[in-house]
């Protein structure tokens, strides 16, 4: 069984309610041209959907637990979570957001280049996609994500 499925362009106007998409990405991308490019990819891929960027909705000067709780509250209001990596690596927050979305039966996609790849199976995703976890001395955790191709 494959855990990935390539997506075709999705027109969110095909539904009566405007689709909301949570854009999970590392804080390193906040305010960068990479973030702008990824937002444009999402806007193109999911026409007429509302792309929810946590950068503009969550106060970053809170504790990590408070930030994650705010993230979970926003994910609950969304239909889909799309995550991106930094050269194949995600941080603890993005990892938790992905697992939370999957556990709450949200559709999850990986932004890979300009493509959105749907994650089809939670258990296989956790088992096969996260190749390795890296722990740093400052209690930071990162996960290396296998390429969908």
Q: What are phi and psi of 9, to 5 degrees?
A: -55, 135
Residue 148 pLDDT? 58
pLDDT tens digits for range 14-73: 444 689 999 999 988 989 999 999 999 999 999 899 999 998 888 778 888 888 889 999
Alpha helices in 5-149 (DSSP H): 33-45, 54-57, 64-76, 92-103, 122-124
- Region 79-92: mean pLDDT is 89
Q: Token pair 């990479």 is at which residue? A: 34
- How far apart (Å, rounded) are the C-alpha atoms in residues 136 and 145? 17
- How far apart (Å, rounded) are the C-alpha atoms in residues 97 and 82? 10
DSSP state of 21: E
Residue 7 has pLDDT above 60, yes or no: no
- Average predicted confidence (pLDDT) for the chain: 80
SS3 call for 24: strand
At residue 16's C-alpha, the angle toward residues 13 and 20, to 5°, is: 65
The pTM of the full predicted model, rounded to 2 decimals, is: 0.80
């Amino acid at each position: 069984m494959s855990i990935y499925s390539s997506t075709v362009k999705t027109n969110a106007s095909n539904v009566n309610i405007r689709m909301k998409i949570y854009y999970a990405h590392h804080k390193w991308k906040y305010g960068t041209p990479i973030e702008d490019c990824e937002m444009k990819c999402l806007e193109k891929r999911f026409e007429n959907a509302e792309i929810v960027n946590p950068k503009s909705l969550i106060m970053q000067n809170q504790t990590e637990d408070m930030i994650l709780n705010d993230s979970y509250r926003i994910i609950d209001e969304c239909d889909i979570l799309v995550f991106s990596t930094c050269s194949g690596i995600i941080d603890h927050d993005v990892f938790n957001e992905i697992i939370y979305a999957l556990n709450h039966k949200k559709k999850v996609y990986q932004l890979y280049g300009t493509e959105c790849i749907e994650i089809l199976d939670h258990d296989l995703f956790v088992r096969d996609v996260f190749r390795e976890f890296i722990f740093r001395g400052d209690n930071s955790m990162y996960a290396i994500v296998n390429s969908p191709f």
